[in-house]
Amino acid sequence: MLKSRRTTPPCSNDSGPWAQVIRESEFLKVAEVLVHVIHDLATLEIDPAAAGVRVVVSGHSHKPLIDERHGVLYVNPGSAGPRRFSLPIAAGELVVDGASVTARIVELGGHRGT
C-alpha cells in the first residue's frame, strides 16, 4: 500500500522510483478465497488453479474483463483514472461471501466528450 498521497503513482506511468516499493504480484486471502493480484497477466508464472487461487486480478491492459477458466475467475477492473485509448473509465468489484466470489465491472464515466 502506498504510504501517502505524495507517493501516489502518476496515472499514465507504471514505472519509476515510486514503483520500486510495489511488488509485481501479491497473494491475499479474503474470507475463504485466495486472490492473486498481478500487474500484467502476461507475466503470470504460476498455475492459479494448481496453487489454489480462485481469483486473479490484473490490470496492465486497462481493458475491463471478467472471465472464468478452469475454476479461476480472471478480473481486469479497467482504469478508474483518465480515459485510456477508447476504453471505458471503469472499476471492478469483487464480492466475497465465505468461499463464494462474484465480480462485476462498473463503468464510471460517460462517453468521450460527456
Q: pLDDT, tens digit, for every residue of 17-74?
A: 777 787 888 999 999 999 999 989 999 999 999 999 999 999 888 789 999 999 999 9
pLDDT value of residue 78: 86
pLDDT value of residue 63: 87
C-alpha cell at 88: 471505458
pTM of the model: 0.77
Average pLDDT over residues 85-95: 89
Helices (H) and strands (E) in the chain, counts: 0, 7
- pLDDT for 86 beyond 90: no
Which residues on adjacent β-strands are paired with residue 95? 102
C-alpha cell at 19: 514503483
Average pLDDT over residues 7-14: 45
Q: CB within 8 A of 1, min separation 6: which ones?
A: none
pLDDT value of residue 14: 61
**Chain centroid, CA 7 distance in Å:** 19
Instruction: Please name the amino acid found at residue 47.
Output: D
Average pLDDT over residues 77-86: 80
